[in-house]
Homo-oligomer: A and B are copies of this chain.
Amino acid sequence: MSPNTLRAELRAILGENEIAADPTPYQTDQRRRYFSPDTVVALPASVAAVQALVRFCRERGITLTPQGGNTGLVGGSCADGGVILNLSRINRIRRIDLADNAVTVEAGCVLDTLRAAVRDAGRFFPLSLASGGSCQIGGNIACNAGGLNVLRYGTMRDLVLGLEVVLPDGSLVSQLAPLHKNTTGYDLKQLFIGSEGTLGVITAATLKLFALPQSDATAWVGTAGIGDAVRLLALVRDRFGERLSSFELVSRYALELSASFSSLKAPADADWHVLIELTDSLPQQDLGVLLAEVLLENGFDNAVLAQSEQERRELWTLRENISSAQRSLGASIKHDIALPIARVPEFADACGRELAERFAGIKIVLFGHLGDGSLHYNTFLPGHLDNSVYEAEAAINETVYRHVLALDGTIAAEHGIGSLKKHWLPQVRSAEEMALMRAIKQHLDPQNLFNPDKIFI
């Protein structure tokens, strides 16, 4: 069915403003690597409209690709034809249950909008991403997002108490009570978390809330090697336990790019850098002093402790601007990996050495959430500012993932599989696991209409 015919037919079940007049902003990903030709973009304004749309598509065999803020990095919300089901308009915060430390929110709510709303209610929602101003809760759940506070609060999966989902047959499954314990058969909501839109559409969720931090301490520490950073992580975690909310790693090169991009001075001169943040729900005046003591007692004296909220923001700006800063290097081959923390130094050494030997002049931008063993490992090739860099992708991926897998790591930590890694999935999950995933997909979506060609090859 042509997009024009499809658009005309959708008029029968959707309102005028529930079909995007200009679909182009929804039809490519932010990296401009994936495109959605011949798609119609639906913007349903209610869960009932989602159900009607799903039933319509099912009857006609039309594919549906759920889309949130479209900030993903693996092509998961682009589609080759059919309907892009954008959730932006289903975005209310339905209720905040203070006694239960829970919020019920619709899928299209922007992450930072939710964070601000619960903050106004005296609570903290911990998921924190660089894309927080545009990514949406539904997408965060569908991709099991991670980010800056996983070390303390877990990934999105750990924050979900209940889901409301429209299944591929158009029926609604809803478990939105703020229950912190519920063991009634298999925990099916877990299947939808991280399923990247292949099993249905998440329309709302009940999420955990936490006490607002009342005090914090933030330090930037230069270290000679990643091994020292791993050692410092153990020291800080042993001393501060649950107060350690972020422990980020930044390479010298990543810091140089970000400092230049941000017009800020590098806080330290070192090959490796760590950004540490402690938070506490009690007003603890001495957190910074205690952190400085641990650093100095253990020889980490190439360090800066933020003395004001502005200094704290500047340190975080250096960390958060790495992604934007690296764009000056052109297109990149990105790897969103995780490793056992103890093996991160070994990985960086061995993989970096092999890449340098095989790809002359290769630049590696390494940064990420060392506290979770989760790294962004982005590679740039000289003379390839445009998408021609992707010609080397298979060979670079093979190298990086071989090192990752040899050290018991994972090739997808917090961005998902999408289109980008689907050819790799059968190599990292067993035949039995792939068969069970396919059986679940087949049961829920026998026509393979929901986000087809994602996750599975």
Interface residue ranges of A345-394 to B (CB < 8 Å): 369, 372-374
Q: Which of B97, B412, B432, B434 is within 8 Å of A183, CB to CB?
A: B412
Chain B min CB distance to A173 (Å): 6
Determine, out of A231-239, A263-271, A295-303, A320-328, the stretch whose residues face the partner at the interface.
A231-239
Do A180 and B412 contact each other (CB < 8 Å), given the known contacts A99-B341, A193-B187, A195-B186? no
On whether the beta carbons of B210 and A242 are closer than 8 Å, the reply is yes
Q: Which residues of B contact A181 (CB under 8 A)?
A: 146, 150, 155, 338, 369, 372-374, 410, 413-414
Q: Which residue of B lies closest to A165 (CB)?
A: B432
On whether the beta carbons of A143 and B183 are closer than 8 Å, the reply is yes
Q: Which residues of B contact A143 (CB under 8 A)?
A: 183
Interface membership of A21, Cβ < 8 A: no
Interface membership of A420, Cβ < 8 A: no
On whether the beta carbons of A173 and B430 are closer than 8 Å, the reply is yes
Interface membership of A190, Cβ < 8 A: yes
Interface residue ranges of A165-183 to B (CB < 8 Å): 167, 169, 171, 173, 177-183
Q: Which residues of B contact A338 (CB under 8 A)?
A: 179-182
Interface membership of A423, Cβ < 8 A: no
| A417 vs B412: C-alpha distance when bound (angstroms) | 34
On whether the beta carbons of B437 and A177 are closer than 8 Å, the reply is no
Determine, out of A26-34, A60-68, A127-135, A438-446, the stretch whose residues face the partner at the interface.
A438-446
Interface membership of A100, Cβ < 8 A: yes
On whether the beta carbons of A185 and B433 are closer than 8 Å, the reply is yes
Q: Which of B154, B186, B238, B374 is within 8 Å of A122, CB to CB?
A: B238
| A151 vs B100: C-alpha distance when bound (angstroms) | 11
Q: Which residue of B lies closest to A191 (CB)?
A: B186
Q: Which of B99, B182, B342, B428 is within 8 Å of A412, CB to CB?
A: B182
Q: Which residue of B lies closest to A374 (CB)?
A: B181
Q: Which of B188, B239, B241, B373 is within 8 Å of A179, CB to CB?
A: B373
On whether the beta carbons of B433 and A183 are closer than 8 Å, the reply is no
Interface membership of A138, Cβ < 8 A: no
Interface membership of A13, Cβ < 8 A: no
Q: Which residue of B lies closest to A413 (CB)?
A: B181
On whether the beta carbons of B282 and A185 are closer than 8 Å, the reply is no
Contact mask for chain A residues 123-163; partner B; CB cutoff 8 A; 1 contact, 0 none: 00000000000000000000110100011001101100000
Chain B min CB distance to A360 (Å): 32
Q: Which residues of B contact A425 (CB under 8 A)?
A: 184-185
On whether the beta carbons of A180 and B282 are closer than 8 Å, the reply is no
Interface membership of A197, Cβ < 8 A: no
Q: Which residue of B lies closest to A372 (CB)?
A: B180
| A193 vs B183: C-alpha distance when bound (angstroms) | 10
Q: Which residue of B lies closest to A152 (CB)?
A: B242
Q: Which residues of B contact A242 (CB under 8 A)?
A: 210-211, 242, 281
Contact mask for chain A residues 228-252; partner B; CB cutoff 8 A; 1 contact, 0 none: 0010011001111111000000000
| A184 vs B185: C-alpha distance when bound (angstroms) | 24
16 interchain pairs (CB within 8 A)? A97-B340, A97-B342, A99-B234, A151-B180, A173-B430, A173-B432, A180-B374, A181-B372, A182-B410, A183-B417, A184-B410, A186-B440, A212-B241, A241-B282, A436-B444, A440-B440
Listed in ascending order, the chain A residues whose CB lies under 8 Å from chain B are 97-101, 122, 143-144, 146, 150-151, 154-155, 157-158, 167, 169, 171, 173, 177-188, 190-191, 193-195, 199, 210-212, 230, 233-234, 237-243, 280-282, 290, 338-342, 369, 372-374, 408-417, 425, 428-430, 432-437, 439-440, 443-444, 455
